[in-house]
Chains A and B, each alone.
Chain A
Amino acid sequence: MAGNVSTLGRRTTRINHAVTEPLWVQLSLITVALVFLALFLVVPLVAVFKEAFSKGAEVYFASLVEPDAWHAIKLTLLAAAISVPLNVIFGVSAAWAITKFRFRGKQALITLIDLPFAVSPVVAGLIYVLLFGAQGWLGPWLADNDLKIIFAVPGIVLATIFVTFPFVARELIPLMEEQGTSYEEASLTLGASGWQTFWRVTIPSIKWGLLYGIILCNARAMGEFGAVSVVSGHIRGQTNTLPLHIEILYNEYQFAASFAAASILAGLALVTLVVKSLLEWQHTRDREKAARAAAQQS
């Protein structure tokens, strides 16, 4: 039942030795996988941290508390802090609408949700320039009302929301589709209100998929470069997010500082991965415990 929640709740399969490949095939496959992993993940990651500390820990920390860097970190976290909750609201509503109701245009909605995955982030950024730029559709009206969208924090947040919005919905739709509506119906027949049903029945039953979607969404929100770069305007200390700040430092030959900032992003990514693994681990453990108990029973 939880098997469809992407990689959550995988069952550990027991290897059947009678039909497995010869040892050398196994070994070479494992080697290939490990070499790739080392070359494309571990080595760059180590390089980031090595370069970050190349001028010593003092330079490392100095470059992080430097006002522009600190502001970039805060802006990145702010963009994530706004876009992730919005994403959760949108994702849950969209998944709810798609899986629990019958309506026209459902297929179109599913396709539209995937749009940000299909569109290049740069194009996404340009769409906002086209809409809100001084020469854009809403530009003159915004200027008259003294509202700033692009080249300001709202633009960055908008671009981040755009590129991240499929994550939660994509994670929930298959899960909720599979669960169907009977839990909610049962709750209603027992006298619960829609609100109670949502919080006490729906949310707990999708929480793993939801958490997983939030993690992915958060990772993307903090790491987004292309779309944000287009709408940022690159004003230091104002509209530079962490990824943009990294590029600027690199272009200024401040390699140690640039990699120090990069190490923060890498660190956030690692934390994300650890959280994700912990969740998966706990989830499988719960399932296995349940299965074991059931086995003892029968």
Chain B
Amino acid sequence: MSIEVKNIEKQFGQFKALDNVSLSFPTGELVALLGPSGCGKTTLLRIIAGLENPDGGVVHFHGEDATHVHVRQRQVGFVFQHYALFRHMTVFDNVAFGLTVRPRGKRPGKKEIAERVHELLRLVQLDWLADRYPDQLSGGQRQRIALARALAVEPKVLLLDEPFWCTRCQSAQRSAPLVASSSRRAAYHFNFCYSRPGRGDGSCRPDRGVEQRQN
């Protein structure tokens, strides 16, 4: 699915986070957003995901205006910077969450959910942690679970907010190729990751880098 943002504006109080930003991401491309801290990378991601409303401009998904589509309907997978894993749920329940909240008609059966969750956990190589709670995981493990959770709902777009901020976690680096491989394997048409300059570890080489500047 292609994404196009046009003339996006966003202001927080006095601070102008995004000023007339226009970008286009064709289907299937892995793009990294680069730029110094505070230049609006996260804000742009959140607007694409539907977690923020832009003050001006439009977001097009596959040519259709998605600016006012609710975050629930956008089918965007979002991996938060600090992962936001549900602390009161096991790893299994975290990954299963997106499937279990589906409306009754579209909800897969229990067995199907379990299969799907374990498949994803195997994909991130953490199937053995299914019964653990997020508190019991290392940073890199959490990130991979967050990735599995986001993939569980088969999003059309995958957004990763600062996926490699935790460069000291070796495990985080292990997840980098996963992003690439899992995305392609699961036949997502489009992936979208972003990172700070100089932090790319080489194995998750974006197809393209877009640099944002502070204005």
Q: Interface of A with B (CB < 8 Å)? A: 1, 182-183, 185-193, 196, 200-201, 204-205, 207, 287, 290-291, 293-294, 297-298
Contacts and interface: CB of A to CB of B under 8 A. Distances in A.
B135 A185 contact: no
A189 B49 contact: yes
Given A192-B97, A294-B138, A297-B138, 20 more contacts: A182-B84, A185-B71, A189-B49, A189-B51, A189-B71, A189-B77, A189-B78, A190-B101, A190-B152, A192-B72, A196-B101, A200-B101, A201-B86, A204-B89, A205-B87, A207-B88, A287-B135, A290-B133, A291-B135, A293-B132
Contacts of A204: 86, 88-89
Interface in B152-205: 152-153
Contacts of A298: 138
A225 to B, nearest CB: 38
Interface of B: 49-51, 71-72, 74-78, 80, 82, 84-89, 97-98, 101-102, 132-133, 135-138, 149-150, 152-153
23 contacts: A182-B80, A182-B84, A185-B51, A185-B84, A186-B149, A187-B101, A188-B72, A189-B51, A189-B74, A189-B77, A189-B78, A190-B97, A190-B150, A190-B153, A191-B102, A192-B98, A204-B88, A204-B89, A205-B87, A287-B135, A294-B135, A297-B136, A297-B137
Contacts of A207: 88
**Interface on chain A toward B: helix, strand, loop, or mixed SS?**
helix
A189 B158 CA distance: 11
A187 B84 CA distance: 9
Contacts of B51: 185, 188-189
Nearest to B141: A297
Given A291-B135, A297-B138, A189 B150 contact: yes
B136 A293 contact: yes
Contacts of A294: 135-138
A290 B136 contact: yes
Contacts of A200: 97, 101
A205 B88 CA distance: 7
Contact of B76 (A189, A201, A287): A189
B71 A188 contact: yes
B78 A186 contact: yes
Contacts of B137: 294, 297
Contacts of B102: 191
Contacts of A186: 78, 80, 84-86, 149
A186 B153 CA distance: 12
